[in-house]
Amino acid sequence: MNRIFASLLFIFIGVFAADIKTAVITTANTATTADTATSATVADIKTDTTANPAIIEQQFSFTIKTSNPDSTFAKIINTAESKGGYFNNYTANYLTLRIPVAALSDIQKSITESGKLEDKSFSSEDNSAEFEQLNFQIESRKKLLETYFDLVKNAPFAELQSVEREMTNLNAEIERLQGKKQAMEKRAALAIVAVYIYRQEVIVPPVKFEHSPFEWINKTDLNNLKGDF
């Protein structure tokens, strides 16, 4: 029994030492960079697609003026949904979307063509280091789990329960870390696009209205027609 506990203790120390080492070595650039640039475009964003892909959360913001906010929002949402995105917040003057990174240039074009562009900004957060750390943590726990499987085969009956309990806890922890990793990947795959809209009032030049002497001509009017229903 003492030998089994000693083995377990030795393995624990080995695994968590590896975790601490990776945390110290990996210097993450996790600071948020807010870069407001009127000339920033989607094409400026480059994603590293090599063996260790960068996990970057991107956020875009646009302010446009249009005479019909509802119709403009409908067009933008249609474009987003046709490209595999969706909206997750929608008020009279504000819309947020989650858009696949590959479709960002299409949605930007749709937004800028929908009204007069007043302002735009971009920010990003690089979570690559934290993602890599998660990978290491998951791998190390999986290795530990394999070791437990081996121990279970030869463990005395009295020790079996405690080993199984440790395995259950370890499984739960692996699942938690994998969930966190998947959430991070999803946040990087779908950029946040926020659209603010201001209603552009139609400027009507002063009209010299002439009252016609004929009743049917005076009453032929769009407001009169709508008021009659």
Footprint on residues 50-89 left by other proteins (CB under 8 A)? 67-68, 71
The piece of 11-19, 82-90, 111-119, 219-227 that touches other proteins (CB under 8 A) is 219-227
Minimum CB distance to other proteins smaller for 46 or for 226: 226
Residue that is written with structure tokens 């650039």 in the block: 29
x-or-dash pattern for other proteins, window 11-50, by CB under 8 A? ----------------------------------------
Minimum CB distance to other proteins smaller for 47 or for 218: 218
User: How far is the C-alpha of 133 from the C-alpha of 128, rounded, in Å?
Assistant: 9
User: How far is the C-alpha of 188 from the C-alpha of 100, rounded, in Å?
Assistant: 9
Q: Does 218 bind other proteins (CB under 8 A)?
A: yes
Binding site for other proteins (CB under 8 A): 67-68, 71, 202, 204-205, 207-210, 212, 214-222, 225-226, 228-229
